Amino acid sequence: MLHPPVRIHAGGTGLRRGGGGAPPQGGNRVPFPGRLLPRLPRNGSRRRRSDRHRSDRLHHARRGRGVRMDYARETSGHDRPMSPGGPDRCGGRQGGFARIRTPPRIVGLILCAALFQGLSRHAAAGTVPQWELGAGIVGLQMPDYRGSDEVHGYLLPVPYIVYRLEWIQADRTGIRSTLLDREETEVHLSLSASPPVRSRNNRAREGMRDLDPMVEFGPSLDIHLWRGDGRRFKLDVRAPVRAAFTVESHPRDAGVSLSPTLNFDVAGIGGRPWQLGMLAGPIFATRRQHQYFYGVPGNDARPGRPAFDAHGGYAGLQFLVALSRRFEKAWFGAYARYDTLRGAVFEGSPLVRRNYYVSAGFAIAWIPFQSSAMIERGD
């Protein structure tokens, strides 16, 4: 005899397991979005359900605000209670499972992009495969956002994909399309990204809207100032201008940023194929982007967090050093970055808990597959 099925409900408090009676205290949530799971009898057999019945249950679970995935999280004494001023705007609850609006695979790719955008773009000229394919691991430690005093670490597997054409390249540093290539000047299309922040896990933003993951893309002007010792040494000015958009079902415009940098790259350190890159420069952004990260609307104000209206302009200085090496079937890269926010137009925001930002990361990739076709790559 089969027991009654276990129904999974998607409600305002997340996914809840239901049955014949009222749900137990705490919701008894399970991390499966909108599915009907039959209980197994003791003999291990399982009743087959029709596609129509399963579809009806899935449609019922997706009704209203939609289905979101819940991920298990251990509770501890460091967990912070829900905001006393009203419902949890992040859509999560204290303890049990922490809700993430973005699928983990997207978060992983965004974290990978956040790491690789910090690595040096320097690569020695020569003949290289047209495409390469592999996989690796990325480790990243960074604050929730520039100015946050809460740091999180990430370790996750990522794909390694490189594709090179005469006018476009997709590799570990992003996607670039060469619009103008002259001896002293290049113009690229560039891409970068930033990971999401759950406000329920950040004391400064508690009770506020989550920060969605963000992608930025736009042109980058590269000016070659100096080449030395057979182009082993490079001194460039790079000025990327990127428009930012949130990654969600209805993407929102998150402003524009400009981050001109002075870059110094060295190839072949100590006679070995190590590549060293260093850069420094200011960051500027529009009011919309600063308001997204540092603005505090009046309805989110509370004691210790007054309302704040951010303005566009200067956003601090960044300093970065990166080291990488290509082996026959592998690649390694690491970087460290330090930003100072002194004098930034949003420095007075209650969401700025530190006037500096430090992040670091590494990546190791195994690259077993590559094309037999080779192409020439300049510096």
Domains of the chain: 1-99 (no CATH), 102-377 (2.40.230)
CA–CA gap between residue 187 and residue 296 (Å, rounded): 37
Identify the H or E element spanning 290.
helix 287-294
CA–CA gap between residue 338 and residue 340 (Å, rounded): 7
Reading the chain (379 residues) residue by residue, the pLDDT tens digits are 545 544 444 444 444 444 444 444 444 444 444 444 444 445 444 444 444 444 444 444 444 443 333 333 333 334 433 333 333 433 333 333 333 445 555 555 565 655 555 454 544 456 778 889 999 999 999 999 999 999 989 888 888 888 776 555 555 444 555 555 566 888 887 888 888 999 999 999 999 999 999 999 999 999 999 998 777 899 999 999 999 999 998 999 999 999 999 999 999 887 888 999 999 999 999 999 999 999 999 999 999 999 999 999 999 999 999 999 989 899 999 999 999 999 999 999 999 999 999 999 999 999 999 998 887 765 5
CB of 363 closer than 8 Å to CB of 161: no
Residue 288 has which token pair? 């919309």
Identify the H or E element spanning 178.
strand 174-181
| Distance (Å) of CA 156 to CA 104, 137, 364 | 10, 6, 11
CA–CA gap between residue 259 and residue 242 (Å, rounded): 9
pTM to 2 decimals?
0.68
Angle at 172 between CA 158 and CA 160, to 5 degrees: 35
CB of 269 closer than 8 Å to CB of 249: no
Neighbouring residues of 129: CB distance < 8 A, sequence distance ≥ 6: 162, 164, 370, 371, 372, 373, 374, 375
